[in-house]
Amino acid sequence: MPAVSVKDMRDAESRAMATGLSEEDVLNHAGSNLGHSIARFFPNPGSAIAYLGKGHNAGDALVALRVLRDSFGWQISIRAAYPIDACAPLTRKKWNELGDAANLAETPDWQNCHRPLILIDGLLGIGAQGPMRDPLLAMAHEMRWLRENVGARIAAVDVPSGIDADSGTATPGTVTADLTLMIGLAKRGLLMSHAAAHTGALSLVPVDCLKYSHPTDIELICPQTLHFGKSPRPFDFHKGMAGRVAILAGSTTYPGAAVLAAHGALRGGAGLITLHIPKDAVPLIAPRCPPEIIIRSYASPLELLDTRFDSLVIGCGIGQPDQHTAAEIIRLIADTRVPTVVDADALNLIAANSQTCILDERHLITPHPGEFARLFPELAKISREAAVSRFIANFKATLLLKGSRSLIAQRGKPILANSTGTPGMATGGQGDLLSGLIGAQLAAGLKPIESAALGAWLCGRASEIAIHTHSQSEQSLSPSDTANHLGHAFIDWHGSQR
């Protein structure tokens, strides 16, 4: 999904109107799909309160409220910054069409609200500029208080109120959303890493008449517009067709990393998974692995060069091997003949030995910010987007730069920004699971950039599902919980929805 500017968005709206559609047609379509999107993200009906400004964002929120109430059984109410007579004519009409919904004159009685309590931010849209002022600012402060003190969650309509949709710059008082539902097209500024703290997870609300066909330098990973990884398996499919994944991981210090990487490959659909581990770590790792995983101990990492597999995952939890083994791991990365995920301690070995020159189109590297800074210290002081652009200008490898807004890039392609995820993923081991999952996609024949994009999206979506189905909380979520919900995430990807 190309990420557009405010001007591009206005042009798309004008083209839609030129086909004979009215503003009301577009708003009804957007608001209805918005309601369905909120219900999918928060599948357990509770209380939805729409915080309304004067404009059409408020109109979208009002239509969404009706969908949530009538189709999904939510309890709904309104918290309006202005009286109905002050609103745009179309917003007034949608308010009247909503019918019986309480218009709250003061802070919601949160103690008696059904949970979850979702606040829909419809205060300001993409056309707003400059800092918010009262009464909108007071409403934003109230939403923040409810989010920080009583467990409310905020879903922003198109943009979090107060943020610049082109630059992603937040003004004082900007709403902090847990989910931003972008109407029709992705907004460029919201994909920037510095905007993530205010946008939360990103979701696209499809509106068929709003189109933009020109290439852009940054795009959103979303299942509605990306079509790889969705084809059903033929009925005569067998494990050989699913791909063979080799994983070199683990040590006596970090046995769990190997187990999680193997689990990621298994849940990712690999046909045959072989986990290669040091001999002294076998007693610590083998008993903890799923029974489907083949365990092989190695004396030398170079043994893998004589082994048949379709993708290689290397580095999870290998720690700091002795100098001889470290040299052999670097040589394995340099000499491998298959697509290879290079992660964690393998990246640290490359950095420590100044061997970034070995990285080429066979390699998909998955650093977190600290590992990236050790690999490319000259890029650590510039923005993430600029650093990623500089990387692909100088290297043929594919990059997945982890973070709250993970970025995936390959030379000649737009940067891809992940849309899924939750702060609950800030736990050791999530990256190991991701590496194994990506390895499975590579073994199945996906391109490196596709494997990285799909893997990042699936892990983020699985974590969201674990939390928003009330299975886990942000504090309790573990990589194993993410793994256990990958099946549901795959279903969402295959169904082009979230």
Measured distance CA(464)–CA(448) in Å, rounded: 24
Measured distance CA(114)–CA(475) in Å, rounded: 22
Do 37 and 181 fall within a single domain?
yes
229, part of any domain:
no
Do 306 and 192 fall within a single domain?
no
Do 26 and 70 fall within a single domain?
yes
CATH number at residue 417: 3.40.1190.20
pLDDT tens-digit profile of 311-345? Answer: 999 999 999 999 999 999 999 999 999 999 999 99
Domain edge (last residue) among 163, 179, 213: 213
In contact, 53 and 123? CB cutoff 8 Å? yes
Measured distance CA(178)–CA(197) in Å, rounded: 9
Q: What's the pLDDT at 465? A: 97
Half-sphere exposure of 397 (CA within 13 A, CB side): 25
204 DSSP assignment: E
Measured distance CA(89)–CA(106) in Å, rounded: 25
Do 331 and 398 fall within a single domain?
yes
Tell me the residue range of the domain where 129 lies.
Answer: 3-213
pLDDT tens-digit profile of 231-250? Answer: 999 999 999 999 999 999 99
Please compute the mean of the pLDDT values over residues 100-116 and round it to a whole number. Answer: 94
231, part of any domain:
no
Percent of the chain with pLDDT over 90: 97
Domain edge (last residue) among 171, 195, 213: 213
Q: What's the pLDDT at 135? A: 97
- Residue 1 pLDDT level (bands cut at 50, 70, 90): confident
- Residue 18 pLDDT level (bands cut at 50, 70, 90): very high
Measured distance CA(273)–CA(93) in Å, rounded: 59
Number of domains in the chain: 2
Question: Minimal CA–CA distance to 58: which of 85, 36, 27?
Answer: 27
Q: What's the pLDDT at 60? A: 98
Do 247 and 197 fall within a single domain?
no
Do 258 and 196 fall within a single domain?
no
CATH number at residue 170: 3.40.50.10260
Beta-bridge partner residues of 418: 221
